[in-house]
Every structure is written in C-alpha cells, then in structure tokens.
Amino acid sequence: MSRLAVIGAGAWGTALALQAVRAGHRVTLVARDAVAAAAIQAHRENRRLPGFRLPEPLDVSDHIPGNADLLLWTVPTQHLRTSLLRLEPASDAIVVCAKGVEAVTHMLPLEVVSDVPPARRLAVLTGPNFAHEVAKGLPAASVIASTDAGLREQVRSMLGTNTFRIYGNDDPIGAQLGGAAKNVIAIAAGAVIGAGLGENARAALVTRGLSELRRLATALGGRAETVMGLSGLGDLLLTCTGPSSRNFSLGYALGQGESLSAILASRSAVTEGVPTAAALVARAGDVELPVCRAVAELLAGKKTLAQTIVELLSRPQRDE
C-alpha cells in the first residue's frame, strides 16, 4: 500500500484524499494548523466538505509526512508559495491541484513551485471536477499534465480508478491556462445569466471565451489541442453551467446587482477567478482577450456591468 499526502484540507483536498483511499492507498490529509487538524480528526468529517465520513486509512495532521510516495498540493494558488515553505527539501514529486495565476508575480502554479527551491519533479492535476461529486465516487475525468512521462504514469496508477479516469498530457502550460481562464470566463457567464441576458448570450460568450483561451495558450507556449480537451473545453463547460461553480455563482450575484465586496464577505471558500482575472490579463500582454479583460475591469470597479455589456456587444463584427 502506497502513501499519499494531500496538502490542503479544503473541499477539493478532502475529495482527492477520499479518492486516493478509494484507489487503495494510505493517505495523510494535511491541514493548515494543529487546531484545524484536531477538529477534523475528532469528528472524522471536514466541515469544508460535509456529509462524508473519513475512512480509517485516512490520517489527518498538520505536518507533511516525510515518507509519502506522492504529494498532492491542493492549496489555492494565491497561498501556494507560502505553503511550500513547510515542505522538507528532500521531497521529490509534487502534483499541484490548484488553478489560477499568482496575483503578484503573474506566474502559473507550476512556475510558483519551480520558483521555490530545490528543483522537483512537477505535474498539475486539472479538469472538470466538482469536489462533492468526486467525493461521492461519481464518474469523473481529469488530466495529469507534465513533461515527465514517468510522473504522469505514477499519478495515473496511484490515483485513477474506473470512476475517476485520468488522462495524461505533456502540455502543462496549456493545461494550467485552461484551469485559470475558465474561472474568469465563468464569472462572465454567471453575470450574463444573472442579468437576464439569456442562454443564447451565455452560449455565445462561452464559445468566444474558448477562442480567447486558444489564442492565449498558443501565444504563451501551449497547444491549441490542449484547449479542446478536459483541461480547457471540459472545465469551461462545467464551470460556466454548473450551479455548484463558485465562479459562476459569483458572476450571477454580480449580474443580480450585488456588490463584489458583499459577495466575498458572505463566502468562506476561495473564488479563484477574482484574483486571477487581472493577473491573467497582465500575463497575456498583447493577446486579444476581450471577455477576460472585461471581467478584470468589472471586478476592479473600473466599469459597471452595464458598461461592460455595452462594450462587448459593440465590438466590430468579423469572420469567426
């Protein structure tokens, strides 16, 4: 029986820990501090993902074990760099299970990990996955993206099951950009529905958002075909249509007239699209991203939703 450690005891980390147990492994779920770890251990349930009793092969700790065969890093992107300081230098492979762009540096998650020495084998796990469905064991698919073929196979063999299918991909740049951009586009999709603009408008916006993602990926060194897979189109479809999406629901509330500050104050979970929007646009440089730029300006308070809608609808018409 192999040992896995999941760093980050949020909903996604807990779901992946349950999936790793389902795949036949001993798992340590690492919480941010001793108090949080003790609370989860005492109740054998995580309030961040209620309704799922933690099975016996799942330990809870506030320390990263030194004997883990694989580390799954589920800490949100904006806290990824700080959390890495807890890691022993001897640790080998890290699988980042977070999406977004670091707000200060505009780095993608794997770039953040590479920026914190020493060098390690790296991969990113991404795709259209809601935590509560993975925790239930419902059918799902994900992507493990890495230039290290051996690491891709290791993750697939250790975490994959018949109901959690993992596909390998050697384009981590494209996979990470898909995970980052889809959250920003989902905010726009939610705002469209919240403002009552209709399903036609949402379908058009999501499709044009996919075109933006394709341009962005190819401009930054990724591949267009990656965008058409699970880490791009698949994740975009889920996040822009699923009512469980935090980014879609935030956009919906904005479309209903709620303020961003009030929406965020009512939430305990991170909505990654909010800090990612401006960082993604900055990283893109001169790449044409009208939807993502509109979301960044809306979130920054530079434009109202009404102004944003008028500007997008007033763009010159052209061939697709």
pLDDT at 83: 94
pLDDT at 295 over 70: yes
At residue 99 the predicted structure's pLDDT band, cuts being 50, 70 and 90, is: very high
Count other Cβ atoms within 10 Å, centred on residue 119. Answer: 8
What's the mean pLDDT when you consider all of the chain? 95
* Residues facing 71 on adjacent strands: 5, 94
Work out the pLDDT band at 1, boundaries 50, 70, 90. Answer: low
Q: For residue 100, what pLDDT is reported? A: 98
The residues facing 93 across adjacent strands are 121
More confident residue, 56 or 88: 56
The confidence score (pLDDT) of residue 36 equals 95
pLDDT at 90 over 70: no
pLDDT band at 89 (very low <50, low <70, confident <90, very high): low
Cβ proximity of 131 and 19 under 8 Å: no
Does residue 246 contact residue 264 with C-beta atoms inside 8 Å? no
Res. 91 pLDDT band, cuts 50 70 90: low
> What would the mean pLDDT of 37-49 be, rounded to a whole number?
95
Q: How confident is the model at residue 243 (pLDDT cuts 50, 70, 90)?
A: confident
Residues 6 or more apart in contact with residue 193 via CB below 8 angstroms:
199, 202, 248, 251, 252, 255
Which stretches within 84-171 are classed as H helix? 109-114, 131-136, 149-159
182 is catalytic: yes
Domains of the chain with CATH codes: 3-170 (3.40.50.720), 173-313 (1.10.1040.10)
User: What token pair was written down for 36?
Assistant: 């949080």
Any idea which of 69-73, 200-204, 298-302, 311-315 has the lowest mean pLDDT?
311-315
Give the model confidence (pLDDT) of 105-161 as tens digits: 999 999 999 999 888 899 999 999 999 999 999 999 999 999 999 999 999 999 999
- What is the per-residue pLDDT for 92? 77
CB atoms within 10 A of CB 257: 9
- Percent of the chain exceeding pLDDT 70 equals 99
* pLDDT single digits (tens) 191-211: 999 999 999 999 999 999 999
Cα 295 from chain centre: 18
- Number of neighbours of residue 67 by Cβ within 10 angstroms: 7
What's the pTM value of the predicted model, to 2 decimals?
A: 0.96
Is residue 4 over pLDDT 90? yes
Question: pLDDT at position 239, please?
Answer: 97
Q: Which of 99, 182, 302, 303 is catalytic?
A: 182
Average pLDDT estimate for 278-285: 98
Q: For 258-263, which contacts have Cβ atoms below 8 Å and span 24 or more sequence positions?
A: 260/299, 260/301
